[in-house]
Amino acid sequence: MNHLTLRHRLLILTLLPSLLIGIALVIYFTVSGIRSLESELHAKGLSTARYLAPVSEYGIITGQLENLHTLALATNQEPSVKATVIVNQRGRALAVSGRVSMASETLRQKLDKPGLVAETESWLAYGAPVFRSVSESDSLFDPTQPSDKPLAQEVIGHVFIELDKSILITRQHDLLIRGLMIVLVGMIILATLAIAVADNLSRPVMRLVNAVRAMSEGKLSTRVPPASTGELGILEQGFNEMAKNLDEIHQSLQTRIEEATVQLAFQARHDALTGLLNRREFEIQLEKALAAVQAGGDQCSVLFIDLDRFKPVNDNCGHLAGDEVLRQISQLFQGRLRDEDTLARLGGDEFGVLLHNCVGPRARQVAEDLCGLAGAYRFIWQDKVFAIGASIGLTQVTREVRNINELLAAGDAACYQAKESGRNQVCEQAAHAPTERRRETGEWVTRISTALAENRLVVEAIPVRARLQHVLGGPLVELTAHLVEPGQPSISLSALLDAAERYELGASIDLRFIEVAIAAMARAHQSGKQIHCLVPLSGSALGRSELITDIARRLAAENISGRGLYLMFSEAASTHNSSRAIDFTRQLRNLGCQIALSDFGSGLSSFSHLRSLTPRLVKLNRSLTRDIGSSRSSTSLLRAIQEITSDLDILTVAEGIDDPTLLEQLDQLGIDFNEGRAIGPREPLDAWLEGVALRTLS
């Protein structure tokens, strides 16, 4: 029933009950007709027998067989009667007419009233007893039989008749066939009507069904002709409205999907924070550029930029500040670049630049410019100022480059090299040269721990020249170190500290320096000498109490004062933790130790530190002394600083002095100490110590 269409269901609904009722009626009327015919036949049989019986009485009594035979023949003339038998009291046939089918036992039976005696498919037999009739008589003359007692009727014989049922069967067939014909005709008329009605009803429904099907297949423009009235009309109208709404919704959804797709495509290609291209897109651009170059197009260069000192911003001011830095830096870089150049954020604080049609010195110049911009850039967040730098790796896209992986590797390595070499500078590396990849986190942790354990951290002395002898009452030396590993190029302290700060390993290096410095001081003390050690500490050392405890313990163990121990922080580090820095420096001074600030002059708050931290010594930023002699503004800035520091009785150190001619100028400006290649090369601390001792002894 479920797979039938509406039309079929309607037809079944209309025709099936009618057909069943029709057939039932035909059967009913046929059966009842037959019943009435049967009962008619029955009545006829009974009445015939009943009439025949008394008529036969006289013949039976008198034994007039001709008479009985005449009666039997007459009875047989009756329609349907096929045989008549009259028997006497003992069942012997007195008269027979027609073909008798009854058994002789039937003829011998005793009946007390007329009735059916035998029946088969084709005939019926009725029998009736023949009674001796009794008349009214005068009881006076019949004394033996009182009149009031009914005389038992004597049966003197029987009559039997057989009725033929063939007529009945024929009539039955006639009735059935006639009835079925009527039903057939009725059904044909009904079917015609039902089909018309079903079509009338199912056609609009089918139109709706087809429309719904078309809709579900996605043809949203489908509409139904509103041809019907009544509920179907409402349905059609409703469908059309629904379809219209659906169509509109679909259209707007499509628009929104397209918009979202565009947005997603943009997001897939761009960095959400800065709006620059992302790494994936950058690599695609690189592929294109490489393909163009290999196809003989213009050569181009790629810059890999890693921001320096970005982590402190994140650590101290949170990610909002870090994000702001990245946004500002990206704008800064974008301002410097041409429209055809591609700037992308490769992730974290790494940027990539594809310089089209720009190679060699020009590319180098762009890189230097960006480096300068990053170096000069100051990020101000609330009351804090951060100096950010950029280590930039430069690599050229040439035809020899096989794939962008080579480019990426080379750029990465160059960037790493720049960072190794003291940050905020540009290094170049060819793409096809063998490269050293940057080490990763886990590697750094094990390397530094292993190096400290195996004493691979070689502590060196940077000799410091004093403008005036005996200003401190002993030689000043700055400690530095580099990591020596077998089969590897040595790693500079700045790179080491950079890594150490990233992975929270600064403390162990700090302790190592302090240990070495105090040991050296103790050794000099034993020789009756006093030396002053400038010990660089990592930014994280500030506020670490175990450092104070360690220093106190070591000084006490060597039984020396901390006067010669100059603990040096970068100006930036002290800026970020000013309150902690003040507390920390106070504790150090209580131990008799001295405070020194490195990178002085790199931030705007440099001067405020002089008051709050009250350092004994400041090491001037390299940028202050780099252009001395050639730039008047630098010289006057240096002079102003010198005036302020000397007023506060703070010693000044100028670093990176490679040119001996500058020394005189610095002396004139009043800078107290100088270091750099012009003063002397780095040497192992022990060697320096021996040298100082020798020199002093001689």
Calpha distance 332→542 (Å, rounded): 32
Our finding on whether 590 is near another protein (CB under 8 A) is no
Our finding on whether 66 is near another protein (CB under 8 A) is no
In angstroms, give the least distance from the CB of 132 to another protein: 5
Closer to another protein by Cβ: residue 156 or 458: 156
- Helices (H) then strands (E): counts for the chain: 21, 23
Closer to another protein by Cβ: residue 50 or 438: 50
Closer to another protein by Cβ: residue 58 or 503: 58
Our finding on whether 92 is near another protein (CB under 8 A) is no
Our finding on whether 37 is near another protein (CB under 8 A) is no
Our finding on whether 112 is near another protein (CB under 8 A) is no
In angstroms, give the least distance from the CB of 131 to another protein: 10
Our finding on whether 187 is near another protein (CB under 8 A) is no
Name the residue among 452, 539, 546, 456 with its Cα closest to residue 498.
Answer: 539
Residues, the chain? 698
Dihedral over Cα of 23, 26, 29, 35: its sign? negative
What DSSP assignment string belongs to 532-588?
A: EEEEE--GGGTT-HHHHHHHHHHHHHHT--GGGEEEEEEHHHHHHTHHHHHHHHHHH
Name the residue among 124, 113, 120 with its Cα closest to residue 50.
Answer: 113
In angstroms, give the least distance from the CB of 62 to another protein: 5
Our finding on whether 62 is near another protein (CB under 8 A) is yes
Our finding on whether 51 is near another protein (CB under 8 A) is no
Our finding on whether 227 is near another protein (CB under 8 A) is no
Calpha distance 119→50 (Å, rounded): 18
**Coil vs helix vs strand at 417:** helix
In angstroms, give the least distance from the CB of 146 to another protein: 8
In angstroms, give the least distance from the CB of 110 to another protein: 19
Alpha-carbon torsion angle 496, 502, 504, 505, nearest 10: -10
Site for another protein in 132-161 (CB under 8 A): 132-148, 151, 154
Our finding on whether 58 is near another protein (CB under 8 A) is yes
Calpha distance 201→194 (Å, rounded): 10
Our finding on whether 658 is near another protein (CB under 8 A) is no
Segment interacting with another protein, rule: CB under 8 A, options 12-20, 126-134, 166-174, 262-270: 126-134
- Alpha-carbon Rg for the chain in angstroms: 64
Closer to another protein by Cβ: residue 42 or 132: 132
In angstroms, give the least distance from the CB of 185 to another protein: 60
Segment interacting with another protein, rule: CB under 8 A, options 128-136, 280-288, 563-571, 581-589: 128-136
Closer to another protein by Cβ: residue 132 or 203: 132
Calpha distance 459→467 (Å, rounded): 25
DSSP 603: S
Calpha distance 19→16 (Å, rounded): 5
In angstroms, give the least distance from the CB of 66 to another protein: 13
- 189 — phi, psi (to 5°)? -65, -45
Our finding on whether 298 is near another protein (CB under 8 A) is no
User: What tokens appear for 193 in the block?
Assistant: 């009507």
Our finding on whether 61 is near another protein (CB under 8 A) is yes
In angstroms, give the least distance from the CB of 142 to another protein: 6
Burial of 148: CB neighbours in 10 Å, binned 0-12, 13-18, 19+:
exposed
Closer to another protein by Cβ: residue 132 or 512: 132
How far are the Cα atoms of 472, 519, 600 from residue 514, in angstroms, in the given order?
Answer: 20, 8, 22
Name the residue among 104, 112, 109, 98 with its Cα closest to residue 161.
Answer: 98
Closer to another protein by Cβ: residue 145 or 526: 145
Using CB under 8 A as the binding criterion, the count of chain residues that bind another protein stands at: 23
- Per-residue binding string, another protein, 545-584, x by CB under 8 A, is ----------------------------------------
Which residues of this protein are in contact with another protein, per CB under 8 A?
57-58, 61-62, 132-148, 151, 154
